Structure 1
């Protein structure tokens, strides 16, 4: 079978809301409409690991970026970012299109727009130093699976179909 050779990188919780700090989950499992949009357009999905989960597990309390911004947590994020950039480079060297990264707005680790999250700071810095430019989009803070998502899905559709 011929591959689409098109892939997006997504924040962990888009596919797994079970990893989101209680009580902030906005879907029962995955964001079905985001995943459906990617699947309907035959886009491969690369799920980034969740640094918060790796650092503090499931029973962690909600924390701010400032709370998370410690030496140990930065190391976790730098390692995830280095791994992700290595994977992106491998895709690009083999003729794939890396269509973008989908973050989570206002996340202390995965926000791209506004106050950038720690993982995205590390990831985007490494992408820049490797001269890699890709599309960036955040799931908005008022997004709930199937609710308030139409404009986001339209933006995502433009990114993955252009």
Structure 2
């Protein structure tokens, strides 16, 4: 009769197949159900983006939806107040800062374990929380409230990560963004 310790010692270690590469993606890329009513571009998830990640062996860290986290699924707010104004309010900004801190901590943990964080993938140009408007100096002020808080938090942690949009509300912009992301994924595939 073998003891449990002897049986465990006889097993061959499992091969670790992870690529060590990942992107942080906005919640709705993987779950369109969290989008505001009328804003979903796909029935469930952006399958083309998921296929691109699978093809290039890139993992996905799903970031929280700031609108749902701050305002709930119904995006409750005072009559006449826009989603952006709700997220930019003192309470909304504090919630986005908290979410950005938690998200950046998880990203930093990945990097500390030797994983390559390739990019933060944001959303459509009109997204109040997750829009990515890139400028030569970084994210433009018209970017989403959560994205602006996240870039600040990553800078505080000395994590240099490119922010890229995935503008799936427009098929032409989506194709352009997918080409850019595919090019990023193809760079330095051999290393971690």
Normalising by structure 2, report the TM-score: 0.77
Contact 1:55 1:76 in 2 (8 A): yes
Paired residue for 1:133? 160
Between 60-69 and 100-109, report the one with greater CA deviation: 60-69
Contact 1:101 1:137 in 2 (8 A): yes
| Structure 2 residues without counterparts, runs of 5 or longer | 1-15, 134-139, 188-192
Query: Is residue 2:69 matched to residue 1:54?
Result: yes
Between 51-60 and 121-130, report the one with greater CA deviation: 51-60
| Structure 1 residues without counterparts, runs of 5 or longer | none
Residue from 4, 13, 24 that aligns with 1:9 = 24
Larger Rg: 2
- Structure 1 stretches (4+) deviating beyond 6 angstroms? none
Q: Return the offset for 1:30.
A: 0.5
Contact 2:23 2:60 in 1 (8 A): yes
Query: Is residue 2:43 matched to residue 1:28?
Result: yes
Q: CA RMSD in A?
A: 1.7
Query: Is residue 2:95 matched to residue 1:76?
Result: yes
Residue from 152, 156, 161 that aligns with 2:177 = 152
Counterpart CA distance in 2 for 1:139 and 1:22 is 19
Q: Return the offset for 1:139.
A: 1.5
Contact 1:4 1:42 in 2 (8 A): yes
